[in-house]
Amino acid sequence: MTTLPAKTEKKLGLVIDLDTCVGCHACVISCKGWNTENYGAPLSDQNAYGADNSGTFLNRVHSFEVQPEAADAAAQLIHFPKSCLHCEDAPCVTVCPTGASYKRVEDGIVLVNESDCIGCGLCAWACPYGARELDQAEGVMKKCTLCVDRIYNENLPEEDRQPACVRTCPAGARHFGDLGDENSEVSKLVAERGGMDLMPEQGTKPVNKYLPPRPKDEMPEFDVLAPFLEPVAEEPKGFLGWLDKTLEKL
| 3-class SS letters over the chain | CCCCCCCCCCCEEEEEECCCCCCCCHHHHHHHHHHHHCCCCCCCEECCCCCCCEECCCCEEEEEEECCCCCCCCCEEEEEEECCCCCCCCHHHHCCCCCCEEECCCCCCEEECCCCCCCCCHHHHHCCCCCCEEECCCCEEECCCCCHHHHCCCCCCHHHCCCHHHHHCCCCCEEEEECCCCCCHHHHHHHHHCCECCCHHHCCCCCCEEECCCCCCCCCCCHHHHHHHCCCCCCCCHHHHHHHHHHHHC
Tens digits of residue pLDDT in 55-66: 999 999 999 998
In this structure, is residue 31 part of a structural domain?
Answer: yes
pLDDT band for position 226 (50/70/90)?
low
In this structure, is residue 218 part of a structural domain?
Answer: no
Distances (CA, A) of 137 to 29, 40, 42: 19, 13, 9
In this structure, is residue 97 part of a structural domain?
Answer: yes
The stretch 114-127 carries a mean pLDDT of 96
pLDDT band for position 232 (50/70/90)?
low
**Lowest-confidence range among 76-90, 138-152, 205-219?**
205-219
State the CATH number of the domain containing residue 129: 3.30.70.20
The stretch 125-146 carries a mean pLDDT of 95
In this structure, is residue 226 part of a structural domain?
Answer: no
Residue type, 203: G
The total number of structural domains in the chain stands at 1
In this structure, is residue 243 part of a structural domain?
Answer: no
In this structure, is residue 235 part of a structural domain?
Answer: no
Q: What percent of the chain has pLDDT over 90?
A: 73
In this structure, is residue 228 part of a structural domain?
Answer: no
Tens digits of residue pLDDT in 139-192: 999 999 999 999 999 999 999 999 999 999 999 999 999 999 999 999 999 999
- Is residue 123 pLDDT above 60, yes or no? yes
pLDDT band for position 12 (50/70/90)?
very high
The stretch 130-143 carries a mean pLDDT of 95
The stretch 81-87 carries a mean pLDDT of 97
In this structure, is residue 41 part of a structural domain?
Answer: yes
- Is residue 135 pLDDT above 80, yes or no? yes
- Give residue 206's domain range: 12-211
